[in-house]
């Protein structure tokens, strides 16, 4: 993935507190924040957001191969 493509993806996921990865790689990805009542709802919405962001960046519409929901409780679990 070209530097410019991933920068476009980063811009597209920025409204979702997102970050993008994939510069110089053969794949691309992003981490985004979605507020939803359940993890299933969050994953469904995240898929929509990610696909739209990838399209906006002009990236290929490849299938998502890995997605992991993390709740706020999970995120802060290891803090003292």
Residue 55 has pLDDT above 70, yes or no: yes
Residue 78 has pLDDT above 90, yes or no: no
pLDDT over 70 for what percent of the chain?
Answer: 92
Residue 17 has pLDDT above 90, yes or no: yes
* Alpha carbons within 13 A on the beta-carbon side of 1: 23
Tens-place pLDDT, residues 21-50? 999 999 999 999 999 999 999 999 999 999
Which is more confidently placed, 15 or 68?
Answer: 15
Decide: helix, strand or coil at residue 31. strand
């Amino acid at each position: 993935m070209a530097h410019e493509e991933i920068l476009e993806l980063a811009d597209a996921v920025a409204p979702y507190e997102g970050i993008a990865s994939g510069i110089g790689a053969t794949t691309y990805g992003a981490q985004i924040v979605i507020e939803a009542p359940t993890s299933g709802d969050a994953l469904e919405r995240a898929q929509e957001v990610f696909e739209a962001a990838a399209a906006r960046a002009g990236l290929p519409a490849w299938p998502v191969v890995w997605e992991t929901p993390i709740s706020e409780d999970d995120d802060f679990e290891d803090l003292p």
